[in-house]
Amino acid sequence: MKKYLIVIDQGTTSSRVVLIDSKTKIIDQDFIEIKRKDNNNSEVLTDANEILFSVNDLLKRLFQRNNLDPKLVSSISITNQRETTVLWSAKTGKPISDAISWQSKHTNYITDKWIELGYTELVFDKTGLLINPYFSASKIKHLLINNNSDINNIKFGTVDSFLIYNLSVEKNHYTDISNASRTMLFNINNKEYDDELLELFNIPKSILPKVLSNDSLYGHYQYKDTLIPIIGVAGDQQSALFGHLCTEVGESKVTYGTGCFILTNTGDKPKYSNNGLLTTIAWDLDNKTTYAMEGSVFMGGSAVGWMKDKLNLVNHANESEAMAYESNNDNVFVVPAFVGLGAPYWDNEVQGSILGLEANTSKLDIMKATLNSIAYQVADILNLMKNDTKIDIKSIAVDGGASNNNYLMQFQSDLINVNLIQNVESEITSLGVAFMAGLKLGLWKSIEEIKNLQKIKKIFVPIVDQSKTNKLYRKWRKAVEVTRMFKEEKQ
């Protein structure tokens, strides 16, 4: 009986490997930091070789330090930062340029043109995405424009695909459907690359990886004389949704990190938003496709970081919890629009504000208002999702640094009147693809069986009267409105 599953979690700032046993318990993990390449302009680049070397090193280290018999490893799964774009040589597998990070916006000269040409609606209908440099398409285009390699020798892939190509003995040029659906080239309705978009963008189909369902066999990784199947591949946010076992319609997850990422399972049909949220394929398992709606908050935990670094309100972000509990002021509002506001406001010009200050307002109150602002912004997105999908949000699984803040979680639960569930395990993203692989390989028979193996740390249940929180929420919307007016008057 094979006992272990390995997951590679290739992220923006680090590569990580995780070793999981058949009880879904994480028994070892290791990571190597990945440097962002310094550069004089606005490009955010990473050396793709560094990504590959780090993963190779981590895998070897994991086998060695656990004295792990490769014959006992049932699979290697991959979850990864999404949209980051690599082009490599078909002959050598070596990158022909740096990887362009999802964070890089310097290809907006291309996306601006596509918007000008009127492609917005077409792209949204086909891909569920808004034309934006964030997605892979314009990054591919930029690399093709600036590279004179023979097109027949070029392969494109997101990080999953680049790793599969280089780690599999078969040198398979594959990607999974959740990563493909973030390229802005993939039609999420018929689940194929879209020929019309490829033609409009002038991107050759021949360089694109073949798209497989998440639980397909992607190839084999060789360790010593053992071939280990690569099974279970998904983009990080989708993998986290599955890791939280949000497999039913209306189940959501919120990651409270630097920003907040919110995904809701919308079932077997794509649901579209009228307010700038994205529609994406969550996964394709057992020949069944599940879709999700996705939204994000720009300033999440980083709003607390700003209060720490710029106003020195705390030495560590976790001190904010006790401060918030000590304050009994509900009249201060922080609108953390440090980099504008996303959905539903979509306002790039608005700047941040603190409202409702009085003679006796203290730093405790400002900190509480900062935490509240994270919850209000997440509520803004969840309310949009509810309206746009007509799906009731049943429960919310939470993770990320700021999800450890009990005050914030309780306030969030009260505000949206939904239970919030915290798992004991923090590496939820890795668990997602491991679950996909384990289910496929029969290590676990069902989602139910996995559910029974999971340990819940805490469930936050709404306790405050809804009329009180509704009043507060209305005041938040007013605070945003007033803040946006200030910008308009300034101009």
Q: How many CB atoms lie within 10 A of CB 445?
A: 10
Which residue from 366, 363, 359, 351 is spatially nearest to 491, judged by alpha carbons?
Answer: 351
Q: How far is the CB of 236 from ligand ADP (least distance, A)?
A: 10
Q: How far is the CB of 199 from ligand ADP (least distance, A)?
A: 37
Q: Please say which residue, 150 or 309, places its beta carbon nearer to ligand ADP.
A: 309
Q: How far is the CB of 190 from ligand ADP (least distance, A)?
A: 34
Say how far apart CA 50 and CA 98 lie, in whole Å. Answer: 10
Show the site string, 444-463: x = touches ligand ADP by CB under 6 A, - = not.
--------------------
Question: Are the C-beta atoms of residues 234 and 227 closer than 8 Å to each other?
Answer: no
Q: Please say which residue, 273 or 413, places its beta carbon nearer to ligand ADP.
A: 413
Say how far apart CA 270 and CA 290 lie, in whole Å. Answer: 8
Q: Furthest-apart CA pair in the chain: how many Å?
A: 73
Q: Please say which residue, 20 or 402, places its beta carbon nearer to ligand ADP.
A: 402
Considering only 143, 177, 304, 397, the residue that binds ligand ADP (CB under 6 A) is: 304
User: Applying CB under 6 A, which part among 228-236, 263-271, 313-321, 435-443 lies near ligand ADP?
Assistant: 313-321
User: Applying CB under 6 A, which part among 65-73, 174-182, 288-296, 302-310 lies near ligand ADP?
Assistant: 302-310
Show the site string, 38-77: x = touches ligand ADP by CB under 6 A, - = not.
----------------------------------------
Q: What angle do CA 134, 138, 139 make, to 5 degrees?
A: 75
Q: How many CB atoms lie within 10 A of CB 485?
A: 11
User: Applying CB under 6 A, which part among 113-121, 219-227, 395-403, 462-470 lies near ligand ADP?
Assistant: 395-403
Which residue from 3, 55, 10 is spatially nearest to 27, judged by alpha carbons?
Answer: 3
Show the site string, 249-278: x = touches ligand ADP by CB under 6 A, - = not.
--------xx--------------------
Phi-psi region of 113 (alpha: psi -120 to 50; beta: other; left: phi over 0): alpha
Show the site string, 328-367: x = touches ligand ADP by CB under 6 A, - = not.
----------------------------------------
Which residue from 179, 170, 174 is spatially nearest to 216, judged by alpha carbons?
Answer: 174
Q: Interface with ligand ADP includes 243 (CB under 6 A)?
A: no
Which residue from 83, 120, 86 is spatially nearest to 102, judged by alpha carbons?
Answer: 83
Question: Are the C-beta atoms of residues 411 and 438 closer than 8 Å to each other?
Answer: no
Considering only 15, 158, 178, 302, the residue that binds ligand ADP (CB under 6 A) is: 302
Q: Please say which residue, 290 or 377, places its beta carbon nearer to ligand ADP.
A: 377
Beta-carbon-side half-sphere exposure of residue 106 (alpha carbons within 13 Å) = 12
Say how far apart CA 229 and CA 437 lie, in whole Å. Answer: 10
Question: Are the C-beta atoms of residues 108 and 116 closer than 8 Å to each other?
Answer: no
Q: Interface with ligand ADP includes 209 (CB under 6 A)?
A: no
Q: Please say which residue, 216 or 404, places its beta carbon nearer to ligand ADP.
A: 404
The answer to whether the bond into 344 is cis (omega within 30° of 0) is yes
Question: Are the C-beta atoms of residues 382 and 416 closer than 8 Å to each other?
Answer: yes
Considering only 320, 327, 389, 430, the residue that binds ligand ADP (CB under 6 A) is: 320
Q: Interface with ligand ADP includes 317 (CB under 6 A)?
A: yes
Considering only 405, 410, 423, 430, the residue that binds ligand ADP (CB under 6 A) is: 405
Considering only 216, 404, 423, 430, the residue that binds ligand ADP (CB under 6 A) is: 404
Q: Interface with ligand ADP includes 80 (CB under 6 A)?
A: no
Residue 17 main-chain phi, psi, to 5 deg: -125, 145
Which residue from 296, 272, 282 is spatially nearest to 181, judged by alpha carbons?
Answer: 282
Which residue ranges make up the site for ligand ADP (CB under 6 A)?
A: 257-258, 301-302, 304-305, 317-318, 320-321, 400-402, 404-405
